[in-house]
Chains A and B, each alone.
Chain A
Amino acid sequence: MKTSHIAFAGNPNAGKTTLFNNVTGSRQHVGNYPGITVERKEGSLLFQGTQLNIIDLPGCYSLTAYTQEELVARQVLVEERPDLVVNVVDATKLERHLYLTVQFLELGIPVMLALNMMDDVRNKGMQIDLERLSQRLGCPAIGTVARSGEGKQQLLEQITRSTATTTEGWQPLHISYGPDIDPVLEEMETLISTSSFLTDRYPARWVAIKYLEGDEEIQQRGAELPEIAAQLESIVDTLREHCNKTLNSFPEAIIADYRYGFIHSLLRQGIVIHPAQVDRMDITDSMDRVLTHKILGPTLMMSLLYLMFQVTFTLGDYPLQLMEMLFSWLGDSVTALLPEGHLQSLIVSGVIDGIGGVLSFVPLIMIMFIMIAFLEDSGYMARVAYMMDKVFRTFGLHGSSVMPFIISGGIAGGCAVPGVMAARTLRSPREKLATILTAPFMPCGAKIPVFLLLIGAFFSEHRALIMFGITLTAWIMALLVARLLRSTLIRGESTPFVMELPPYRWPTLQGISIHTWERTWEYIKKAGTVILAISILLWVAMTFPGLTPAQQQFFDQQRLPLQSALEQAPAAPRAAQLNQQLRDIDQQQSMTALQHSAAGQLGTMLEPVSRLAGFNWRTNIALIGGVAAKEVIVSTLGTAYSLGEADSEETRTLVQRIRNDKDWNRASALSAILFVLLYAPCFVTIVVMARESSWQWACFALFFNTGIAFLLAILVYQIGIRL
């Protein structure tokens, strides 16, 4: 059976992925290019006896070396040498989309055009002469409507025809770059071919053009033959000077001018016919009048984001609780089945709680991605970035940073896991990194119970005010730290905001569901494995070395008289009292065990330092546990504060216990609130951060955020106790 390798390529918003989804259906495989977060999507299908393996290249505007997407696209074309590139273009914007096509043709790789969005072309009253376009460009052209599947059959037929007739070797297109560039280009081309400079990978003329464009990747590769490289550089330098003096321009600018000139003259010859009377106001323009209006725009945006947030967390709450119930039932069943001991504890507290922790986020992530996919595919996300850019740029971020912040808890109660993942929509690497590192400062849903506990104990009369203050502090800190990072560790020019505002469209169901499922599955796979390991590690730290035999004996001896008293079947009130006393001993025992565990010893060890911020060893253990998941903080505080009060008739709540502990006061409560808000992201977030950036940056966040949080906590506490 014949196998063909096909690459789908094109500008972002050309409908490339929609076409890819339509052609390959669910037979897809999504991975990542090694070392970077650009997705590698592959799919396959059998058509008329030919196996078509299709790779969906990341969307790019050009084949330069400035963005990861462009580098990846180029690398796949040159190294994997697909049999055919299907260049998907938006037929209503041919002039700009052909800019990339021309670059494919210059590279010489076999290309066919898929002129997508032909329905829009018809609606606008435009006409495109596909046959003449195909003749002029020297490559086949098929009209398609990816959303409805129109033209899919012809596209596949043309793919099989094209791959069947492909001649050996690439045939690069030669464009004239005018009297200043052409002679120099020829000189360089001769030099390159005679010395076989990089010609095993690229056509000679293409290498020459890349040198003129100052392409960093090609220059790096060229450095292996330093002599030729130096000669080429000096030719380029001379030309650059010449262009600067006589034309007040650069070679790369002239090259771009001529490419557009080539496309312009190509299309002018009756290939695209615009309607005589252009109706200027299309639906997108009318919608933008309202949606990006000075006052209405931001108001609607805020309401929409708030609504979206509410829907995500209200709707996500049911499956979340269901998952939690399922896992707690599972935990109880296993507890009942297995004999008491370390194995039971490992499986219940380590494995089931760990997996449960990961999986309970899944519904939330799915709903969030459905929302995001909807906003992105509809074209509204670009408007959000457009409206917010001015504010966020001031802090070294990008208009698109608003989404990750809000999802992470910018409106209190979010979650940093989907928040960090939402930063994918940022195409600017530095702004994206700064967003990822600061988004976990937001008050996520798991931090809120801690705040409520401490507010309940010390500030119950100012609940709303303090909660509002916490959210405000989070935003201020996130923006200020982003600014700090962007002017120190992630320094660099802000990425240009040259962004397309695509027309509004209804997203397709298939697009949204594939998009959502891919990301969710990726989360389950990656986070699942690492989280499980970490969860077990934390269980070990909080369990071992356990009680000494002497301590164990001490508790057993205390229990003995109570148990024998119970066996004599006393009256109901007396039995209840005895049971209560037994429970108290159990609690005391687990408290002692916790204090004695590795985590407990660490907590005790850290006490001298943590006292500066007003935290005792019990708080320390809870905070250490909170690195695993912020939900753990309150439950661990519960265990650590379950000091037996055997004689006491009334059981006291954790709020009361904390309020009565001499170590706690308003200053230390405030300091703890601030610390919990800002310190290390939870482990799920850290894993996701590592996926979206790198392990170095994720570990950096772990220590850097904790450092900042601790310093501020000390400041607040020290000022607080002096007031």
Chain B
Amino acid sequence: MTLLEIKNLKKVYTARFSNQQTEALTTVNFSIEAGEFVSIMGESGSGKTTLLNIISTLDDATSGEVFLEGSPLSKIKDKEISAFRRNTLGFIFQDFNLLDNFTIKDNILLPLVLSKTPVREMEERLMPIVKNLGIEAHIDKFPYEVSGGQKQRVAVARALITQPKIILADEPTGALDSKASQNLMEILKGINETGQTILMVTHSAQAASFSNRILFIRDGAVYHEIYRGDAPAEQFMDRISKSLKVLSSRGELDE
């Protein structure tokens, strides 16, 4: 079943005081099946983050459309957009975006509280998730009292607790050391194996190698895509590296 479908997506930024226009996305087309773990790779400025922001409804497309389960995101009314974001999407950010005034527990529960979920249900949902992520010992601490890797796991818990249709992760390993990155990616892979769809933007070939499919973006368009298939991790890493090399060398040739 196709969960997410992106058709002819285009985004043009116009500078505020001039007519100079920057094309962040030219034409993007791809789709994601339910249960997939897809990574998007590309160099800085390639349009990855713009793409993710549009899918997250944090930004509007200039033209084209994003369909989630067949319905276009642009048709969602302004009033419903926050509830949509809360209930349908889960977010993981590079810099965690945890709130220092909430305990770990309250940070995780935040989207549920905003949806006015009954307290009992919140607590029922909380425990299995924090146990699974290995942070149940820390739930009464504050974010500034735990390590970066733990913070990102808290963010994962916050993304999972609403049982979203898709998790959108923006450079989730960007602020973590290699050991914590490895650990986080294993967790995300585990989550994906339970059937959760994940779309991740990343720089890191290592992180991307945990996904089933990788899209390479360049100059605002999907340039290349590879599937992991049944390939072992090392072989997949190798293919990623080669693709990245091709991506950058072709870019030089183009210029």
A associates with B: no
